[in-house]
Chains A and B, each alone.
Chain A
Amino acid sequence: MPWNFNSTTPIYIQIIEHIKMSVAVGDYRAGDKLLSVRELAAEAEVNPNTMQKALSELEREGLLYTQRTSGRFITEDKEVIASLREQLAAEHLNAFLKKMNRLGYSPDEAVELLGRYISETGSERGGK
């Protein structure tokens, strides 16, 4: 995934979200080694301090771990990754329901609309 940053949210938060998404969609797999802070910063064209801040935060959350001599890795705990996926899905659902609410649909109506939409547009939109 390319790095794209919006101009209103702090960049380290956007980096955190970007890496979480990369893990959730499987671009990074459990146990994968990350590039060094400098390399990642150069790739994203951000300041190394900003990249460091984002990685430290992800480490604190348990998604990354550091091995003193060999670098930084994605967690090997599959449950952490599974719950990350759920968490991201929950965020999308929440945003979806909020928008539907603004359009005047109750959650039940939104679910019904979604069901109808999926059956009308067929299965080609289904997940992987």
Chain B
Amino acid sequence: MLIECRNLNKNFGSKTALKDVSLNVESGKIIGLLGPNGSGKTTLIKILSGILTPSSGDALISGKPIGIETKKIVSYLPERTYLNEWMSVRQAVSFFSDFYSDFSSETAYDMLERLNINPAERLKTMSKGTREKVQLILVMSRKAELYLLDEPIGGVDPAARDYILKTILGNYSENASVVISTHLISDIEHVLDDVIFIKYGSVTLHSSVDEIREQHGKSVDALFREVFAC
């Protein structure tokens, strides 16, 4: 099992962000982590990437407790940018290449070229969408076992969105899994194996996309709108 969570809880003061989350994720899958704003998607991803520690419960990746060893095999795309703005794209690439032994500069330059991003440009002068593309390229250029992508397509235009999804499909290997958190469900539904619905910090559904369509006769997007109707 690639990800194992057992009774994870996370509280911020009196606020409960995650409540008794238990889930297993196997290798070789693309999983959508879906939930409305404030449902705990980012908190769960941050715990898995080792940025937050759970208040109680256990999380294992490839059987290892979260720490240095799991950071080597987890590639994480945060929802906010963390790269230094004064850096050029080229500097950011070499920064990643210094940091991660599984990073491929060649893959990164290849994708940058496909998206017409000039490696000499500074992040500071880029549009928000372009900066997001650069970050996703950096994250996907690692040969990781688990990719945790927090809202990877929120800020980019639909054409680039398609390219990014193709990039995700083309770059993950058969023994890697990709967890994508998003609320743009209909855009990514066709690439997902499984979906996890999360509501008020609890997992309410963990199912394959095919099962949902078979059982409910509707798309994940339609089911989401039903389950989370305001």
Report if A10-B191 is in contact (Cβ < 8 Å); known contacts: A47-B169, A48-B169, A49-B29: no
Q: Would you call A8 and B218 a contact (CB within 8 A)?
A: yes
Q: Would you call B186 and A7 a contact (CB within 8 A)?
A: yes
B221 surroundings in chain A (CB, below 8 A)? 7
Report if A7-B189 is in contact (Cβ < 8 Å); known contacts: A12-B210, A47-B169: yes
Q: Would you call A45 and B209 a contact (CB within 8 A)?
A: no
Main secondary structure of the interface of B (DSSP, over half): helix
Which of A8, A12, A46 lies in contact with B191, CB distance below 8 A?
A: A46
Confirm or deny: B214 has a beta carbon within 8 angstroms of a beta carbon on chain A.
yes
Q: Which of A40-63 contact B (CB under 8 A)?
A: 41-42, 45-50, 53
Confirm or deny: B112 has a beta carbon within 8 angstroms of a beta carbon on chain A.
no
A49 surroundings in chain B (CB, below 8 A)? 28-30, 193
B193 surroundings in chain A (CB, below 8 A)? 47, 49-50
Q: Would you call B214 and A10 a contact (CB within 8 A)?
A: yes
Q: Would you call B217 and A11 a contact (CB within 8 A)?
A: no
Confirm or deny: A123 has a beta carbon within 8 angstroms of a beta carbon on chain B.
no
Q: How far is the CA of A11 from the CA of B208 in the complex (A)?
A: 11
Q: What are 7 A-B contacts defined by CB distance under 8 Å? A: A7-B219, A10-B213, A11-B209, A45-B166, A45-B169, A45-B190, A46-B191
Confirm or deny: B85 has a beta carbon within 8 angstroms of a beta carbon on chain A.
no
Could you mark each residue 1-45 of chain A with 1 if its beta carbon is under 8 Å from any beta carbon of chain B, else 0? 000010111111000000000000000000000000010011001
Residues in A lying within 8 Å of B, measured CB to CB: 5, 7-12, 38, 41-42, 45-50, 53
Confirm or deny: B222 has a beta carbon within 8 angstroms of a beta carbon on chain A.
yes
Report if A11-B190 is in contact (Cβ < 8 Å); known contacts: A47-B30, A49-B28, A49-B29: yes
Q: How far is the CA of A17 from the CA of B118 in the complex (A)?
A: 43
CB distance from B88 to the nearest CB of A (A): 31
Q: How far is the CA of A5 from the CA of B186 in the complex (A)?
A: 12
Q: Would you call B213 and A45 a contact (CB within 8 A)?
A: no
Could you mark each residue 10-27 of chain B with 1 if its beta carbon is under 8 Å from any beta carbon of chain A, else 0? 000000000000000000
Q: Would you call A11 and B219 a contact (CB within 8 A)?
A: no
CB distance from B208 to the nearest CB of A (A): 9
Q: How far is the CA of A53 from the CA of B122 in the complex (A)?
A: 44
Confirm or deny: B47 has a beta carbon within 8 angstroms of a beta carbon on chain A.
no
B209 surroundings in chain A (CB, below 8 A)? 10-11
Q: Which of B141-180 contact A (CB under 8 A)?
A: 162, 165-166, 169-170, 174
Q: How far is the CA of A47 from the CA of B204 in the complex (A)?
A: 24
Confirm or deny: B5 has a beta carbon within 8 angstroms of a beta carbon on chain A.
no
Known: A7-B219, A10-B210, A11-B190. 5 other contacts (CB 8 A): A7-B189, A41-B169, A46-B190, A49-B193, A53-B210
